[in-house]
Amino acid sequence: MDATRKAYLTARTQVLKAMAHPSRLLIIEELEKEERCVCELTSMVGADVSTVSKHLSVLREAGIVQDEKRGNQVYYRLRVPCILNFFGCVESVLAARNGEPATCCGKAEE
């Protein structure tokens, strides 16, 4: 494997690892609806501010979210909202694993 390909795969891995936590998935789902401040996300996740801030830092470093400071609050939003399209494929994998017909993008596979 050449260096360029390896760097590309490593970057993909970083995004997937960042998403691989239930609290971070919840944060991503909530940010799909609208931007949120850390205080709102803290109550949604049910964790303390430092834990939620760490999750947000992981998501920000992976390029999934961006932040904006307004006064004493920091607001987060999805950098690329289409990240959630990925979950349709994940749902198809879960359905296939459970013996249901395989689908892709809502269409049955032939």
CATH number at residue 29: 1.10.10.10
Question: Residue 81 burial by CB count (10 A; 0-12/13-18/19+): exposed, middle or buried?
Answer: exposed
pLDDT tens across 36-73, in order? 999 999 999 999 999 999 999 999 999 999 999 999 99
Helix 49-61, helix 38-45: angle, nearest 10:
110
What is the average per-residue pLDDT within 67-91? 90
> Are 74 and 91 in a shared domain?
no
More confident residue, 101 or 55: 55
Q: How many residues does the chain have?
A: 110
> Are 86 and 101 in a shared domain?
yes
pLDDT at 51: 96
What does pTM read for this prediction? 0.83
> Are 67 and 85 in a shared domain?
no
